[in-house]
Amino acid sequence: MASLMRQSCLSAFRTPLATRNVAGVSRVVAFHASARRQILPPEPQTIQGTMNDPAPIPPPHPSHGSYHWTFERLVCVGLVPITIAPFAAGTLNPTMDAVLCSLLILHSHVGFQASIIDYFPARRVPKTATFLNWLLRGFTLTTAIGLYEFETNDVGLTEAIKRIWKA
């Protein structure tokens, strides 16, 4: 009884990607990427130089690396008090609203840009990466213009959130 229970429990965890037909030949399930339908083609398998050459080091740039990481963290940390302050203090200051909107736009842009860089590397899909970066810039500009119009011609972001919260 114990071995039967053990076999049934283990079979529940085994979901193979391949199934076997009557002849015992394994067959790949439908969704698995095959040579005919690849989601992303593999990168070219070439080696530049020899195996004794050092790895190429990209030229340093101030907007990459530690400065970029520090800037992202400052924006994230800055969002916490500037988000809580208008509701805790009870004041409606247009300058604070403008800073909040600016940080939200900047935070969203940097986050989506990091996603594009991670999932669509320029060395692998250069045209797609360029298109998505320009699309992100367009959406960021549209969002900035929309929030500017909302701040100047309507009640503002914090007042709108207060009204929605109390509705």
Where is the binding site for a ubiquinone, in residues?
A: 119
Query: In Å, how far from its chain's centre is CA 21?
Result: 41
Count of H helices and E strands in the chain? 5, 2
Could you tell me how far CA 142 lies from the centroid of its own chain? 19
How far apart CA 162 and CA 166 sit, in angstroms, is 6
Binding residue positions:
107, 119
Q: Residues marked as binding for heme b?
A: 107
Q: How far apart are alpha carbons 15 and 54 in whole angstroms?
A: 43
Question: What is the rounded distance in angstroms from the CA atom of residue 56 to the CA atom of residue 47?
Answer: 12
Instruction: In whole angstroms, give the CA distance from residue 111 to residue 118.
Output: 11
Contact in structure between 129 and 120 (CB atoms under 8 Å)? yes
Q: What is the dihedral of CA 136, 141, 147, 152, to 10 degrees?
A: 180
